[in-house]
Amino acid sequence: MKHIIHKLSLIHSDYFLLNSQYPNIIEIDNSYRKASRRINMVSCAEKYANKQHIIADRLRLTSSPLVRACLGEFMGSIILMIFGSGVLAQVILGDHGRHAHGTFISISMGWGFAVYMAVMFSGQCGSGHCNPAVTLAAAVVGKLPFRRIPFYTFFQILGAFLGSLVVFALYQYANLHDNGKLLVNSTGGIFVTNPSASHLTCFLDQILGTALLTAGAFAITDPNGWKLPDYLHPLHLAFMVYAIVGCFALNAGAALNPARD
């Protein structure tokens, strides 16, 4: 015990002797320790941030651009149908069919902003077409490889079916017409277009409407045209669809999207 006490006293005396000869050495040592702890903390933070980036890149599928684009088309088509068919259900089923919950202007605006939301959801993932006709036109003008058309089209149609199913499930309780059946001339119009002209007229009508849609989309997104900022593209597309639906819906319900129509 005496031996231990003697050693402790020697250590204590050496500490004070060192501190008296080099008064700053203790402060330097403490500063070094604090700096080391900060470096270790920064290192841990960097490792955590790098891990987050790795996980985020995997979730964003940055290494699989085709899968990422197809999922974007799938999600965009779901959103398109939820908003587009949703506004039709709102107007057709509202107040037991007396259209108290909207008018034709509501339908035009609803479809316009359905496109807006669809492009917002899917545009950063891939092309943001959400429409097989636009996909085909993009391939024809060289904006998209032809080999991607089947993949895009499949996921666009699948997304459109799923989005329509969501609307059907949501508004099923309100379908009090036609004994709960979906007839084309009434409640079926929520999910399909209802032609009211000859086959030739409807054919020409859909060619014109789809041509206006694709040409307008390319004009809006053309980097050599008006040079609109990317974040304004969805809004301009929404107003364009609003105009097309408002002007060309009489003959065939403005059937612009083969994935839905």
Interval 65-123: pLDDT, tens: 888 899 999 999 999 999 999 998 888 887 655 656 788 899 999 999 999 999 998 87
Q: What pLDDT score was predicted for residue 27? A: 54
Q: Is the pLDDT of residue 180 over 80?
A: no
What is the Cα–Cα distance from 208 to 148, expressed in whole angstroms? 25
Q: pLDDT band at residue 127, thresholds of 50, 70 and 90?
A: confident
Q: What is the pLDDT of residues 31-49, one digit of tens each?
A: 555 555 555 555 665 666 6
pLDDT (average), residues 122-135: 88
Percent of the chain topping pLDDT 70: 69
The whole-model pTM stands at: 0.76
Q: What is the pLDDT of residues 197-243, one digit of tens each?
A: 898 999 999 999 999 999 999 999 998 888 899 889 999 999 999 99
What is the Cα–Cα distance from 246 to 20, expressed in whole angstroms? 91
Sign of CA dihedral 113, 114, 115, 119: positive
Q: Is the pLDDT of residue 179 over 90?
A: no
Rounded to the nearest 5 degrees, what angle is found at the Cα of 103, between the Cα atoms of 98 and 104?
Answer: 125
Place of tokens 């500063």: 31
DSSP state of 250: T
